[in-house]
Amino acid sequence: MKSFIKYISDIFSGVASLLKGMRVTGKYFFSPRAIVTQQYPENRHKKGKKKLEMFDRFKGEVIMPHSENNQHKCTACGICENNCPNGTIEVISVMNIGEDGKKKRALDKHIYRLSMCSFCALCVKTCPSKALAFSQEFEHAVFDRKKLIKILNKPGSTLMKGIE
Protein backbone atom coordinates (compact mmCIF):
# COMPACT_ATOMS: atom_id res chain seq x y z
CA MET A 1 0.00 0.00 0.00
CA LYS A 2 2.91 2.36 0.82
CA SER A 3 4.50 1.81 -2.58
CA PHE A 4 1.18 2.55 -4.33
CA ILE A 5 0.82 5.86 -2.44
CA LYS A 6 4.44 6.76 -3.21
CA TYR A 7 3.82 5.88 -6.87
CA ILE A 8 0.75 8.17 -7.03
CA SER A 9 2.58 11.01 -5.22
CA ASP A 10 5.52 10.68 -7.65
CA ILE A 11 3.12 10.98 -10.58
CA PHE A 12 1.54 14.13 -9.12
CA SER A 13 4.98 15.56 -8.38
CA GLY A 14 6.07 14.90 -11.98
CA VAL A 15 2.90 16.46 -13.43
CA ALA A 16 3.31 19.51 -11.15
CA SER A 17 6.91 19.93 -12.31
CA LEU A 18 5.84 19.62 -15.96
CA LEU A 19 3.11 22.23 -15.53
CA LYS A 20 5.54 24.59 -13.81
CA GLY A 21 7.90 24.38 -16.79
CA MET A 22 5.08 24.70 -19.29
CA ARG A 23 3.85 27.83 -17.46
CA VAL A 24 7.19 29.55 -18.14
CA THR A 25 7.15 28.42 -21.79
CA GLY A 26 3.51 29.47 -22.20
CA LYS A 27 4.20 32.90 -20.72
CA TYR A 28 6.85 33.59 -23.37
CA PHE A 29 4.71 32.08 -26.11
CA PHE A 30 1.58 34.14 -25.44
CA SER A 31 3.18 37.40 -24.28
CA PRO A 32 6.70 37.74 -25.69
CA ARG A 33 8.69 40.62 -24.26
CA ALA A 34 12.20 41.12 -25.52
CA ILE A 35 12.92 38.65 -28.28
CA VAL A 36 16.48 37.41 -27.99
CA THR A 37 16.56 35.30 -31.15
CA GLN A 38 18.60 36.91 -33.91
CA GLN A 39 16.93 36.58 -37.33
CA TYR A 40 20.27 36.01 -39.00
CA PRO A 41 20.34 36.59 -42.71
CA GLU A 42 17.24 38.78 -42.74
CA ASN A 43 18.40 41.52 -40.39
CA ARG A 44 22.03 41.56 -41.43
CA HIS A 45 21.77 44.39 -43.98
CA LYS A 46 18.24 45.82 -43.87
CA LYS A 47 17.82 49.44 -44.82
CA GLY A 48 17.57 51.73 -41.81
CA LYS A 49 18.87 49.08 -39.43
CA LYS A 50 22.30 48.83 -37.99
CA LYS A 51 24.52 45.88 -38.76
CA LEU A 52 23.81 42.77 -36.73
CA GLU A 53 25.84 42.80 -33.52
CA MET A 54 26.20 39.88 -31.20
CA PHE A 55 25.88 39.99 -27.43
CA ASP A 56 28.84 40.97 -25.22
CA ARG A 57 29.32 37.39 -24.02
CA PHE A 58 29.38 36.03 -27.58
CA LYS A 59 32.48 34.00 -28.37
CA GLY A 60 33.55 34.57 -31.96
CA GLU A 61 37.06 33.81 -33.09
CA VAL A 62 40.06 34.45 -30.85
CA ILE A 63 41.92 37.67 -31.68
CA MET A 64 45.00 39.45 -30.36
CA PRO A 65 44.19 43.16 -29.95
CA HIS A 66 46.92 45.55 -31.07
CA SER A 67 47.35 49.21 -30.18
CA GLU A 68 47.50 51.97 -32.77
CA ASN A 69 51.33 51.63 -32.61
CA ASN A 70 51.08 47.95 -33.68
CA GLN A 71 51.92 46.71 -30.19
CA HIS A 72 50.44 43.64 -28.48
CA LYS A 73 50.48 42.24 -24.93
CA CYS A 74 51.60 38.66 -25.71
CA THR A 75 54.79 37.64 -23.89
CA ALA A 76 54.96 34.24 -25.67
CA CYS A 77 54.69 32.40 -22.35
CA GLY A 78 52.72 29.54 -23.96
CA ILE A 79 50.07 29.23 -21.23
CA CYS A 80 47.28 29.56 -23.79
CA GLU A 81 48.86 26.80 -25.88
CA ASN A 82 49.19 24.51 -22.85
CA ASN A 83 45.59 25.07 -21.70
CA CYS A 84 43.97 24.56 -25.10
CA PRO A 85 42.31 21.12 -25.06
CA ASN A 86 42.31 20.75 -28.86
CA GLY A 87 45.77 22.02 -29.77
CA THR A 88 44.18 24.98 -31.54
CA ILE A 89 46.90 27.44 -30.55
CA GLU A 90 50.59 27.28 -31.35
CA VAL A 91 52.96 29.89 -29.96
CA ILE A 92 56.30 30.15 -31.74
CA SER A 93 58.84 32.25 -29.89
CA VAL A 94 62.41 33.36 -30.44
CA MET A 95 65.07 34.20 -27.88
CA ASN A 96 66.36 37.76 -28.16
CA ILE A 97 69.02 39.51 -26.14
CA GLY A 98 67.45 42.42 -24.28
CA GLU A 99 68.89 45.84 -23.51
CA ASP A 100 70.22 44.53 -20.19
CA GLY A 101 72.11 41.69 -21.91
CA LYS A 102 69.76 38.95 -20.71
CA LYS A 103 67.99 36.53 -23.00
CA LYS A 104 64.28 37.28 -23.37
CA ARG A 105 61.58 35.33 -25.12
CA ALA A 106 59.78 37.24 -27.88
CA LEU A 107 56.76 36.29 -29.95
CA ASP A 108 57.49 35.21 -33.50
CA LYS A 109 54.10 33.77 -34.53
CA HIS A 110 50.87 33.14 -32.67
CA ILE A 111 49.03 30.59 -34.80
CA TYR A 112 45.29 30.01 -34.27
CA ARG A 113 43.40 27.20 -36.02
CA LEU A 114 39.78 28.25 -36.08
CA SER A 115 38.60 24.93 -37.51
CA MET A 116 39.84 23.09 -34.40
CA CYS A 117 38.58 25.59 -31.80
CA SER A 118 35.80 24.50 -29.44
CA PHE A 119 35.35 28.09 -28.12
CA CYS A 120 35.90 26.95 -24.54
CA ALA A 121 37.62 30.27 -23.64
CA LEU A 122 40.40 28.59 -21.66
CA CYS A 123 43.05 30.45 -23.67
CA VAL A 124 41.45 33.84 -23.03
CA LYS A 125 40.79 33.21 -19.34
CA THR A 126 44.24 31.86 -18.49
CA CYS A 127 46.35 34.43 -20.34
CA PRO A 128 48.24 36.30 -17.59
CA SER A 129 48.83 39.41 -19.72
CA LYS A 130 45.26 39.55 -21.17
CA ALA A 131 46.67 39.40 -24.69
CA LEU A 132 43.77 37.40 -26.18
CA ALA A 133 40.10 38.25 -26.60
CA PHE A 134 37.04 37.12 -28.55
CA SER A 135 35.84 39.04 -31.58
CA GLN A 136 32.26 39.62 -32.63
CA GLU A 137 32.92 37.93 -35.99
CA PHE A 138 30.62 34.99 -36.57
CA GLU A 139 30.67 34.31 -40.31
CA HIS A 140 33.40 31.75 -40.90
CA ALA A 141 32.26 29.92 -44.02
CA VAL A 142 35.14 29.45 -46.45
CA PHE A 143 35.82 27.16 -49.38
CA ASP A 144 39.47 26.57 -48.47
CA ARG A 145 40.24 25.15 -45.02
CA LYS A 146 43.66 26.82 -45.08
CA LYS A 147 41.93 30.18 -44.61
CA LEU A 148 40.86 29.04 -41.13
CA ILE A 149 44.50 29.07 -39.95
CA LYS A 150 45.25 32.59 -38.73
CA ILE A 151 48.36 34.38 -37.50
CA LEU A 152 47.13 36.53 -34.61
CA ASN A 153 50.12 38.85 -34.25
CA LYS A 154 50.33 41.42 -37.00
CA PRO A 155 53.52 41.69 -39.10
CA GLY A 156 56.10 43.92 -37.42
CA SER A 157 54.22 44.09 -34.13
CA THR A 158 56.13 44.43 -30.88
CA LEU A 159 55.45 43.89 -27.18
CA MET A 160 53.88 46.81 -25.33
CA LYS A 161 56.13 48.61 -22.86
CA GLY A 162 55.56 47.60 -19.26
CA ILE A 163 54.30 44.07 -20.08
CA GLU A 164 56.50 41.25 -18.80
Exposure class string for 68-89: b at 16+ Cβ within 10 A, else e: eeeebbbbbbebbbeebeeebb
**Once rounded to an integer, what is the mean pLDDT over residues 30-52?**
63
Residue type, 76: A
Q: Where are the domains of the chain?
A: 62-159
pLDDT in tens, 72-115: 999 999 999 999 999 999 999 998 887 778 888 889 999 999 99
SS in 3 state form for 104-143? Answer: EEEEEEEEEEHHHCCCCCHHHHHCCCCCCEECCCCCCCCC
* 140 and 61 Cβ atoms separated by less than 8 Å: yes
CATH class as words, domain 62-159: alpha beta
pLDDT at 41: 64
What is the C-alpha separation between 58 and 24, in angstroms, rounded?
25
pTM for the full predicted model = 0.68
* 106 and 75 Cβ atoms separated by less than 8 Å: no
Give the mean pLDDT of the chain: 86
